Every structure is written in structure tokens, then in C-alpha cells.
A and B are shown apart, each in its own frame.
Chain A
Amino acid sequence: NAGVTQTPKFRVLKTGQSMTLLCAQDMNHEYMYWYRQDPGMGLRLIHYSVGEGTTAKGEVPDGYNVSRLKKQNFLLGLESAAPSQTSVYFCASSYAGREQYFGPGTRLTVT
């Protein structure tokens, strides 16, 4: 039982490049989330999903897209990376939205 896993763990991008972050959970949770965390700050919700095939915008969705084609996977895409997207990205999942389980994070640097 791996819980929530994220790949990759680290990535360096140049401005304008694209990439996809993958999140997988093996707890059969309906809810999945993508957050970003900047130094000294709390988490900010980018996008979330309340079930397979559904996605919704969070607090800071601009510049990101997501897909939830399978219940266990939630993908976060950056189409054209910008330095302002340098951050730590966390994926989380939840059974009913109350208690969230987090992956280890992806540290992304955009130069």
C-alpha cells in the first residue's frame, strides 16, 4: 500500500517548456487535489477532482491544466512554464474531503 505517489520528485524547466506531473493513489479515494506551496506560505489549491472524469478549478488555476481519466491517477500539466511557477507541488487524495493524504511533493524550478 503505497498511499499517494508523485513523479517526478525534482524537475528543472526552461521558460516556455511544458511538462506533466503524475499523481497516483491506491486508496480508492474519490477526491484528488493539486496544490502548490511557496516558501513560508500555506498551500494553495490549483485544481481538484471529486471523481473520475471530473475536474474543477481551485484558487490558483491559471497556467495549469488537469485530467482525471482513471480514478487512481490525477495529472497536472504546465503548457508553457513561467518562473512564477517555481514551487513545490503536492498532490493529495481524500475519501470524503475531510482528511487529506499527501504525496511527497515535486520540486519544480523554472529558469
Chain B
Amino acid sequence: GQSLEQPSEVTAVEGAIVQINCTYQTSGFYGLSWYQQHDGGAPTFLSYNALDGLEETGRFSSFLSRSDSYGYLLLQELQMKDSASYFCAVRDLDSNYQLIWGAGTKLIIKP
């Protein structure tokens, strides 16, 4: 079966940099996605990595290492509006390429 692990909660200071890790176990890995969800809101897409390396989109970057079954989301210049839950999700052959989601990491930002 598939499984994903990410920390349940991370705390950081406004203006700082924070990294949210995600490790996964799948037998037919296809790609790793990251989504942001504010309390009471819907998930919104942040990034997708299918190949090893770093993808940068503004203040957010996402990294993937397929050999280590590991990825992370890097948030720079943290703003209070970045307080949210962040989910990693794997596209996997065994799930017919549908997303299997982690339990989410709640990011708390302090002024």
C-alpha cells in the first residue's frame, strides 16, 4: 500500500524560512503535489514535482528526491497569511494515478 508522512505542526516566525518535509512509500510513484488549505477553506494547488530537483514559484519552492522517497516544501519570507495547513499528495500507479494525501502539516506563524 501507499503511505505518506509529514509533521503534524510546524511553527515559524514572520519573515523567516520554513521547510515542510514529506516522506512517502509507494510502489509506483508518479509525482508529488503540494496543496495549501486555510481553515474552513478548500485546498489550492501549489506545486507538482515528477522529476528530481527543485521547482521554484515565487516565495514557494518544492523539492523531490525519488531515490530517497522524499520531498519538501520551502516557504520563504513568511507572511501571516501563510498560516494554513499544507498537504503533500502522491500520484501513484497503484491508485490508478489518483492522489493519495498526507494528513497535513499545520503551519503556525508568529509575529
Contacts and interface: CB of A to CB of B under 8 A. Distances in A.
Given A42-B87, A43-B87, A59-B95, A101 B45 contact: yes
Contacts of B42: 90, 102-105
Given A97-B91, A98-B48, A43 B43 contact: yes
Contacts of A41: 103-104
Interface in A23-51: 33, 40-45, 48
Contacts of B95: 45, 59
A43 B98 CA distance: 12
Nearest to B40: A105
Interface residues of A, number: 22
Interface in B29-69: 31, 33, 41-45, 48
B109 to A, nearest CB: 19
Contacts of B98: 33, 45, 48, 58, 97
Interface string B87-107: 101010001111111111000
Interface of B: 4, 31, 33, 41-45, 48, 87, 89, 91, 95-104
19 contacts: A41-B103, A41-B104, A42-B4, A42-B104, A43-B43, A43-B89, A44-B101, A45-B95, A45-B98, A45-B100, A48-B98, A58-B98, A59-B95, A97-B91, A97-B97, A97-B98, A98-B31, A98-B33, A99-B33
